[in-house]
Every structure is written in C-alpha cells, then in structure tokens.
A and B are shown apart, each in its own frame.
Chain A
Amino acid sequence: MSKYPAALGGKSQPPALVRVVRDAGLSAIVAFGLFASMIGLRLFPTGNGMKLHYRWLMLAAVVVAVFAGRVIMLTWRANRPAGTPQPRRIAEAINHAGKYVGAVFLIAAATLPLYGGRYFIDTGILVMTYVMLGWGLTIVVGLAGLLDLGYVAFYAVGAYSYALLSTTYHLGFWTTLPIAGLLAAVWGILLGFPVLRLRGDYLAIVTLAFGEIIRVVLINWTSFTGGPNGITDIPRPTLFGLKFNGSGDPDTFAAFFGIDYSLTQRVVFLYYVIFGLALLTNWVSLRLRRLPLGRAWEALREDEIACRALGINVTVTKLTAFAIGAMFGGFAGAFFATRQAFVSPESFNFGESALVLAIVVLGGLGSQLGVALAAVVMIGGSELFRDFAEYRMLVFGVGLVVMMVLRPRGLVSGRTPSIALGARKEIAAELVAQGRG
C-alpha cells in the first residue's frame, strides 16, 4: 500500500494516506484554534447589553475547508510532474507575448477617451501619472540600481514649483513645466551628493529621510508654501493659449471651435497631456538605455568597482541617474498640481514613495512594460476595489505576496541587451544584478 519503501535499517515511514490525513488533521486543529473565537463567537448588541451567539456551523465549514485544502495540496505536491515549474513557463509566455501586449496597451491607452466615460478617463489620468512616476523611478532603481525611497520629494518639488511660479508670477503651464523638471533635477543632484558613498539599506534610509524633510519643510515654511493649507487656485493648462472653461470668452476651447462647453473636454485634454508626458519619459529612458550613459548606469548596477577600473566616473554617472529620474518626477508633479488645481504637503507622504517603488518592483526592475502593467493593476485595481474599501488593503497585500512568491523578480523579469551583433536574446533574470545601491 505504501508508496514509500522503508528506509534501510531505519524507522519505517507510515503509509502515505495516513500521513496525509495526520498532516491535514493537524492543520484543521490549528485552524480551529485560530478561528474558534474569531468566527465561532459573535456578540450582538441588544436593548440592555450584549448577547453572545455561537456560530458552530460556520466554524465547522472553515475547519473542513482547511482540512480539504491541505489534503488537495499534499496530493498535488506528491504527484507534481517533473520539468519546468509552472511560474517559469508563465514567465516565458509573458516575455514572448511582451511585444504584442505592449502594442495593444498603447493603442488601448491612446483611444481611451473614445470609449471610456468620465470616470474611466479620470482613473486613466491617475494610472498614467503613476506609470510616468514608475518609469521615472525605474531609471534610478531599475537601471542604476540605486534604491530610492524618497522619490516623492521630486514629485513635490515639481508640484510646488508649478504652483508657486504660476500663482506668484502668472507663468503658464507649458512655460513652467521645463522649469519644474529642472528644479527637481537640481534637487536630485543635491540629494545625490551626500549619498554617493552609501549603498543598499543605508542609501534607502537617507533617501527616505530626504523625502520626509521636503514634506516637513513644506508644512512648516508657511510664509512660502502656505503650510498645511497648501496652495489653491492653481491655473489649469491651456491648449495653445485656449482655456478650458465655460465662460464663453473667445480664448476658450469651446468658443474657439464653436462647440458647447463640457467638463469632459478638459478631462480628455488633461488625459492626453499626461499620456504625452508618460510617452516622453518612456522614449527618453528607452533611448538612454541604448546610449553609453544608460549602459554605464546598468554597468554600475552590475559592478561599481569594475566600472571604476574601466575609467567610468562613478560620481557623475550616479548623479545623472538621480537628476534624470528626478526630472521626470518633477514633470509629473507639475502635472499633478495643474490637474488638482491645489497642492498640499499631505499629497507627498512616504506612502506615495512606497507605492511608486512597489509599482517598479512589481513590474520588474528596469522593464518598461512591466511597470506600466503594474501601475494599471495597482492603481486601477485599487480603484475597482473602492466599493470594498475595508478589504482593499487586504486584497492588495495578499496580491503582492502571491506575486512575489510566483514571480520574485517582477511581472516582466529578464533583460533585453542594449546592443547586439546578431539577434537580441533575452537575458535571464538570475544573471542580472539587482544593485546594492
């Protein structure tokens, strides 16, 4: 009966069925211990106090489910076929389909306002902002391998640059956008200098602190930033000087084209602005990867000492990564300010940095498509779950854990070479360094 022959000269193994039942029984006992008070008992408020209800049937159902689940798991494990494990095959399929998935996504994103409603486009704007932030952070974390936990600082610098310049000097969005990016890049370099010699965990801690410093300064420098009240009445962007409002003036979009004004026009315009900015980020980072600078970033992630021995100026290379990553953060920040027409320090807390970093890690370090997919899943997904607000974070957390178990290197792992004599062959993620900062 037993599938396992007794070990030579040792104790004999119990038959397989007995072992499975014993193991599953143990799981059921643990489940009972855990859930007895959580599910089995329930307090109800009555007119004069509380009344205890026993829900034995529900408890029994959970315990039986755990028992059955354990039996199924053990049986499957014993009869698992040899060969390439499942996640690996899925990974290969994803990599293979990558080209088409990317094209489909691009077309779907470009035509979103044609088929999506107002709510859909609003969500699209939000997702696209995070796609852009993710692509910006990928330059620092994915390519250069520098773990940055304070990316939101550059987002904030961009947002406040636009907010202050537009409300104080009445500069337009398109004039201010490059300035905001430039200021964020300068802050990126300022942050870069002190952390040049730090690696890994230490780098992460210092960048996290930098993000917090920016936020605390924004809260407390009331005379300049408006403090916790933030800055209101930030001008909306214009299309070649055409405003989006219902005033009927000749310099509004609706009046110029002789159509009725609707709020959707502005939302669609904002959507295409962020779509264009995101595409710019993508184009620049894809292009940089194939240039010496991007290659030096990746080499830095692989081995900093070897880079130095080859005459690459490690300081300058790291600073350009920080600066360019920060610049795109600044662009996204300026867009955020103009979309909300309001900024306050609350929008730039550590949670935002963590979310963007989660998108980058989930997407796969250095993968453009992966980051876009991850942003859609994380931001779009949490929008979908808005109705189940209580469980949103739970689903989110479980999803992340499952992802990291199945695909520890992100949705799209592996690396495409930046140059090749023949055909470009995907490099397995196992060979690619993750960077230690």
Chain B
Amino acid sequence: MSTQAPLLAVANLTMRFGGLTAVSALSFQARSGEITAVIGPNGAGKTTVFNCITGFYRPTSGGLTLTRPDGVQLALQSLPGHRIARTAKVARTFQNIRLFAGMTVLENLMVAQHNMMMPTVIGGLLAVFGLGSYRSKQRVAIDRARHWLNEIGLLNRADDPAGALPYGAQRRLEIARAMCTGPVLLCLDEPAAGLNPRESDELSDLLMRIRGDGCSLLLIEHDMGVVMRISDHVVVLDHGKKISDGTPTEVRNDPKVIAAYLGEGDEDEETPAGAEAAA
C-alpha cells in the first residue's frame, strides 16, 4: 500500500489573491479508497484548495498530482477546467447547490454523462440524422441515472424539475450528478450543510457506499459528527496553513487543533477573512 502513489498529492500549494495569501505552502495526500476530510475554521482556505483541485483557480505555485488507477499521472494545475472532470475524473459538488434547476432530475443526471454520450462534436451533430451509436449510449446513460436515483431515493421524482426538490434531496442529487461522471475522486464541499441529523446520517451512509464502490472522497465539512464517523484521514487547515494531519482520533486530540477551533493563543498577524468570500 505504501509503495503505491497516492491518488492525489498536493505539494506546496500556494494561492494568492493580490496581497492576500489564502493558502500557503500546503501539502497533503489523499489515498485511494479512503475518505479524506479537510476541516478548519471559517476562512481557513478550504474552498480555495477545492477550487484549485477542480480547476476553478489556477494555483500561484505548487503542484497537484493525480494518479489514476490505470497509473496515468496528471498535473491538475495545468489541465483546462473541463478536462479535470473528463480526463482526470475528479468530480465536485458546490457549497451553494448548483443544480440545473429548470431541468428535471433525470436530465441533470443525463447532462453529467455528456462526454460519454457525445465524445466528439461531429458525432453529436451526426446524431441529428440518427447516425452513430447514440441510441445504445443513451440507454446505458439512462440505466446509470436510474441506478443513482435509486441510490439516493429519488427514483419516483425523476421527472420533476430539480429546482422543486426539497433542500436535502437537492444535496443528494448534486452528489448523484457528480457520481454520474464516473469519477475516481469525488470532492464534496460541505455536503451536510443545512441537513437535519437524520439526513446527515443518511448522507454518511451514502458516502460510505460510494467509497465501497471504489470511489475515493475528499470532503470539506463543518459537521464534526459526520467527519469523525466516516473519515479515514483528516487534514486541518487554519489561516491557509496545515496545522494537523492524521486519523480522526489523532486530530481530535491535537492541541493545535483545539486551539484553532477555540481561538486560544492565536496571535496571528494576518487574518485571511476574504479567502472564504473569494472562494
């Protein structure tokens, strides 16, 4: 296990917005088959890290290396935005849900499988005249969508607009949509935000099932109950720097983590308050 390259290796990642350093020289690893949690107080730079990994920000310096199960290594920081999901197979959800509200639940999941159904534009255009293997691909896509709808318990609402779903269901749908891209790494930005305790439990179960299917997870979360229960590995950020890294138990007992959360002995000179807002 230890000889194998980690799924995602973040090395010396730094992200500056003008004079503000949101993330400074951050290094950590996410191993294959594990749930890695990134936690930290508000403004610690967690979402910025996510945006760098998923191609929404270009890091100021540092490297993000993804090793796919087939051994191919990709430098995420130099891939164009849409290639992150398509080639590197890294999917993400958003802190404020970004579903296609005016499209149905099923359509949301079909859009996620766009690249599998339409590998080239020419092929996509030829499908207008019924050419190509579009029909069989669509059938496969519907089956996959049905599988995930079943998984999140929304099969009976497949034909309802996504914007009309209750909040908790929208969160689950966003996860299912990301899973429909067939990722090797799923990045979740506060998936439990706004959920009630029962919904949080269901979410934990869903995430464990996703891990069981062979997809690794990287998650930002404030709900410590969820983090401690499902994470294999926790990385703690504060003011853009890593202050702790280890198993949930180790992190929980780390004095530096306790200090960061309770604000003890914290005499930092700069407060990256804008970091979270910018992210």
Minimum Cβ distance to chain B for residue A186 (Å):
15
Given contacts A298-B100, A310-B85, A311-B82, are A419 and B160 in contact (CB under 8 A)? no
Give 1 or 0 for each of A412-437: 1 = CB within 8 Å of chain B CB. 00010111111111011001110000
B85 to A432, Cβ gap below 8 A?
Answer: no
B86 to A291, Cβ gap below 8 A?
Answer: no
Minimum Cβ distance to chain B for residue A171 (Å):
25
A310 to B128, Cβ gap below 8 A?
Answer: no
Question: How many A residues, CB 8 Å from partner?
Answer: 39
The interface stretch among B15-23, B61-69, B103-111, B191-199 is B103-111
Which residues of B, 52-99, contact A by the 8 Å Cβ criterion?
Answer: 54-56, 81-86, 91-92, 94, 98-99
Minimum Cβ distance to chain A for residue B72 (Å):
16
Q: List 17 A-B contacts (CB under 8 A).
A: A287-B128, A295-B110, A296-B114, A296-B118, A305-B94, A306-B94, A309-B94, A310-B91, A311-B181, A320-B124, A421-B106, A421-B142, A421-B159, A422-B159, A425-B104, A427-B161, A433-B101
A214 lies within 8 A of chain B by Cβ: no
Question: How many B residues, CB 8 Å from partner?
Answer: 46
User: What residue of chain B has the Cβ atom nearest to residue A324's Cβ?
Assistant: B125
The residues of A that contact B104 with a CB separation of less than 8 Å are 417, 419-420, 425, 427
The residues of A that contact B273 with a CB separation of less than 8 Å are none
Minimum Cβ distance to chain B for residue A354 (Å):
26
Question: DSSP majority for the B interface?
Answer: helix
Which residues of B, 109-146, contact A by the 8 Å Cβ criterion?
Answer: 110-115, 117-118, 121, 124-125, 127-128, 134, 142, 146
Which residues of A, 285-312, contact B by the 8 Å Cβ criterion?
Answer: 287-288, 291-293, 295-296, 298-299, 302-303, 305-312
A420 to B98, Cβ gap below 8 A?
Answer: no
Minimum Cβ distance to chain A for residue B182 (Å):
10
Q: Nearest 6 A-B pairs (CB), nearest first?
A: A311-B85, A432-B102, A311-B86, A302-B100, A292-B118, A431-B163
- Complex: A140 Cα to B54 Cα, angstroms: 28
B177 lies within 8 A of chain A by Cβ: yes
A358 lies within 8 A of chain B by Cβ: no
- Complex: A305 Cα to B85 Cα, angstroms: 12
A431 to B161, Cβ gap below 8 A?
Answer: yes
The residues of B that contact A288 with a CB separation of less than 8 Å are 128
B159 to A423, Cβ gap below 8 A?
Answer: yes
The residues of B that contact A295 with a CB separation of less than 8 Å are 103, 107, 110-111, 114
B177 to A302, Cβ gap below 8 A?
Answer: no
A417 to B81, Cβ gap below 8 A?
Answer: no
